[in-house]
Amino acid sequence: MSNNNSNNPEEPKKENFFQKNWNDFSKNIQNGFKNFQDSLQDQAKKNQELWDKNKGKATELLEKSKEKFEAQLNKWNNDLKQMQNETKDQWEARTSKIKEDFEKWQDQSRQDFSKGMKSLTRGFFKWYFIVLLMIIPIILIIVLIVLFVGPLIPY
């Protein structure tokens, strides 16, 4: 019986130990969840307050943007109406002016390209001539050395 008595007190202790740890664990989880929930609620309140503060600014910005867009749209509509009211002669005058401007631009580009190529060609020939002037004396010296020293060297 002494064995039975000694076994019985150990079993409740083990149960109490595990039960106690389980209760602590579940309490910690509940407390952590509550803290998390509270911090989320606090953040939501702060966000709501910031939203309320900035709501007026956002509304004002959207209204200004809408007004600017409507003004630009009205301007475009007026421009379109003016274009529709133009006569055929005005249209032809405008297109001929655009063609003339384009042709002037092409001519100017051709002239600029021609001038650039001429200056590039002149520069190339200038340097080609300078290099020749520097190399000719060296070539003459080499030829003279070969002509006068060549026969003196025995083969």
Question: In which domain, by residue range, is 19 found?
Answer: 9-83
Decide if 137 is inside a domain.
no
b/e 43-75 (16+ beta carbons within 10 angstroms → b): eeeeeeeeeeeeeeeeeeeeeeeeeeeeeeeee
pLDDT digits (tens, 9 = 90+) for 68-113: 888 888 888 888 787 777 677 788 888 899 999 999 999 998 898 8
Decide if 149 is inside a domain.
no
Is this model's pTM higher than 0.75 or not?
Answer: no
Decide if 60 is inside a domain.
yes
Decide if 114 is inside a domain.
no
